[in-house]
Chain A
Amino acid sequence: MRISTFWYCVKQGVRNICRNIWFSLASIATITACIFLFCMFFSIMVNIQHVVRLAETTVGITVFFDEDLNVGQIQAIGSEIARRPEVDRMEFTSEDDAWEIMKEGYFEGAEDLAEGFEEDNPLAGSSSYQIFLNDISKQSQFVAYLNGLNGVRKVNYSNSAAAGLTSFNTVIGLLSVVIIGVLLAVSVFLISNTINVTAAFRKNENQIMRYIGATNGMIRAPFVVEGMIIGLLGAVIPLCVMFFLYHQAVGYLQDRFQILSGIFQFLPLETIFPYMAAAAMLLGLGIGFFASFFTIRKHLRV
C-alpha cells in the first residue's frame, strides 16, 4: 500500500468517526470502562503476585532426616530433591550449624550457659535442608513428595499464608475475567453498531468504490481504521486516569490501613505501567480491529 493511500484511509477513518460522533463516543466510553477495569484488576493482581513471590522467597520448607543417616546419605537425598522442577533453591544446615544458630538465638548474652553442651550437641541428628519453591501453589504437592521419600523424618512448612494469598489471587483473577469478558462483549457490540451506522452512511461511496474497481481491502480499510482509533482512544483514556490514580490509591490505602504496610509492599507505578499500557493498547486495538473487520464483511458483498 502506498503511503498516500495509507493516509487516505486514516483520513477516511477519522472522517467516519466525526460523521457519527455520538455512536463513536458511546463506543469509546464503553471500551474506556472495560479497559479501566482491566487496568485496575491488572494492578491488583500484579501486586498480589508480588506479595506471593515475596512470601515464596521468605517462607521455606524444612526437611529433617532419620537420625541414623550420615551427612553423605543426607546430601544424596538432597541432590535428588534438587532435581525437582519446582525447587528454586536449597540451603543445607548441618547439625553443628543448627546448634550454632540456636546458640546465637537462645543464649545471646549468656553464652556460658551454652558451654555445658560443648561436648554434647543437643541437636544431633537435626541436619536439614531448607527448600524454597519457584511456585508456592505447588507446595502441598511437593510436601507430599517429600514425605514419601525414604530417610525423611519430618517436613515443616507453613501453608496458611501462601494458600490464602494464592486463593485470593485466583478469585480476583476469575472475577476480573468475568467482568472484563462482559464488558468486552458490550464493547464489541457497540463498535459493531457504530461501524454498521457508518457503513449505512457510506453505502453510496462503497458502491461507487466497487464499480471503480476498489479491492475489498481498500473498501474495508477506513472502517478498520475507525474501529482501531475508537479502540486506541478507549485504551489511552483509562491509562491516563490510571497514571494519576495509582499513586493516590496506594497512598490512600497505606494511610488508611497502616497494618497493610507490614504485609503489603506495593509495586511502584513505573514497574507495572509499561506492561499495563502495552496490554491495554493491544486490548483496545484488538477489540477495534476485530469488531470492525468482521462487521464490515457483510457490507462487502458485491
Chain B
Amino acid sequence: MIEISNVTKEYVEGNKALRNVSITIEDGEFVFIMGRNGSGKTTIFKLLMKEEELTSGRIVVNDMNLGKMPRSYVPKYRRRLGVVFQDFRLLKDLTVYENVAFAQRVVGASNRRIRESVPAMLQMVGLSSKYKMYPHQLSGGEQQRVAIARALINRPEVLLADEPTGNLDSHNAMEIMKLLEEINGMGTTVIVVTHSHEIVEKMHKRVIYMERGCVVGDETAFDPAEEEEDMTEGGEFYED
C-alpha cells in the first residue's frame, strides 16, 4: 500500500510544488494521476522514486517510510519499483535483449537467471521475435514495450509510468495501456502519470486529478459493463 499523507514539497522557498497532498493507493490498484504541466504530478513521481526529499508530511510505500529511509537503502527500495518514462530511455547501443538484461545485470543477477527470465519477459510484451534488434530499428510503441519489459524484469511490486504514451500515436498508446492493464492484472500496482484525457476516459480506472500542487478530484474505477447492467436493471425497475 502507498500512503501519501499531508505531503508538501517546496523546491524554492515559498514556491510549493505540492501542498498538503494526501493519497492512498491499495496494493494491486491501477491509478492515473492527471493534471496539467506544473500541477505537481511529476513531483509525486519523483518523491515516490526517492529522487527528491519531501519538505513535510509522510510517504509510506509497502511499510517503508521514505522520509526516514537512509540513502544507502535507496537502491534496494528502487529494486521494488519499476519505472517507465515518456522518452523510453533505452540504451541505443544495446539490443532489445541486452536492454532488458541490463536491468538484471546491474542488480547482480546471475547469467543463468538472465537467460531464463529475459526471453519470458520479451514474450510477455510481445517482442520475442525482435530480441536482436536495436532501439532505432523499432517503432515508438515497441520501444516503450522494451522499457516496460526492463521495468518489470526484476518483478517490482509497483510500476510507475511517467507519461508512458506521451510520444505515441493513439493506437500505440492504447496498446501500451492494455499491456499495463495486463501487468496490473497479475498483481502489480500501476501508477500512471498522464495528461491525456482520451486514455483516462477509455481505461475506466481510478483517476486522481491535480492542480497547482493540490489534489482536486479522486474518481474511483468503474466497470462500464457492470454500469450498463445496472442501468438495464434500473430500467427494468422503472418499467415495472
Taking beta carbons and an 8 Å cutoff, which residues of A are in contact with B?
A: 1-2, 4-5, 8, 204-205, 207-216, 218, 302
Check if A211 sits within 8 Å of B74, measured CB to CB: no
Check if A214 sits within 8 Å of B89, measured CB to CB: no
| Smallest Cβ-Cβ distance to A19: which chain B residue | B93
Check if B71 sits within 8 Å of A213, measured CB to CB: no
Size range of the interface on B? 20 to 34
Given contacts A204-B91, A212-B103, contact A218 B108 (CB under 8 A): yes
| Smallest Cβ-Cβ distance to A214: which chain B residue | B106
From the candidates A1, A213, A302, name the one contacting B154 in the complex (CB within 8 A): A213
Contacts of B58 in A (CB 8 A): none
Check if A210 sits within 8 Å of B78, measured CB to CB: yes
Check if B110 sits within 8 Å of A215, measured CB to CB: no
Q: How far is the CA of A215 from the CA of B103 in the complex (A)?
A: 12
From the candidates B51, B78, B102, B110, name the one contacting A213 in the complex (CB within 8 A): B78
CB of A3 to closest CB in B, whole Å = 9
CB of B70 to closest CB in A, whole Å = 12
A-B contact pairs, 15 of them (CB 8 A): A4-B111, A8-B105, A204-B91, A207-B89, A208-B89, A208-B102, A210-B75, A212-B79, A213-B78, A213-B79, A213-B106, A213-B107, A214-B75, A302-B71, A302-B74
Quick check: is B61 within 8 A (CB to CB) of the other chain? no
State which residues 49-105 of B face A: CB under 8 Å: 49-51, 71, 74-81, 83, 89, 91, 102-103, 105
Check if A212 sits within 8 Å of B89, measured CB to CB: no
CB of A6 to closest CB in B, whole Å = 10
Contacts of B49 in A (CB 8 A): 211
CB of B56 to closest CB in A, whole Å = 21
Produce 1/0 per residue, B138-154, CB < 8 A to A.
00000000000010001
Contacts of B80 in A (CB 8 A): 213
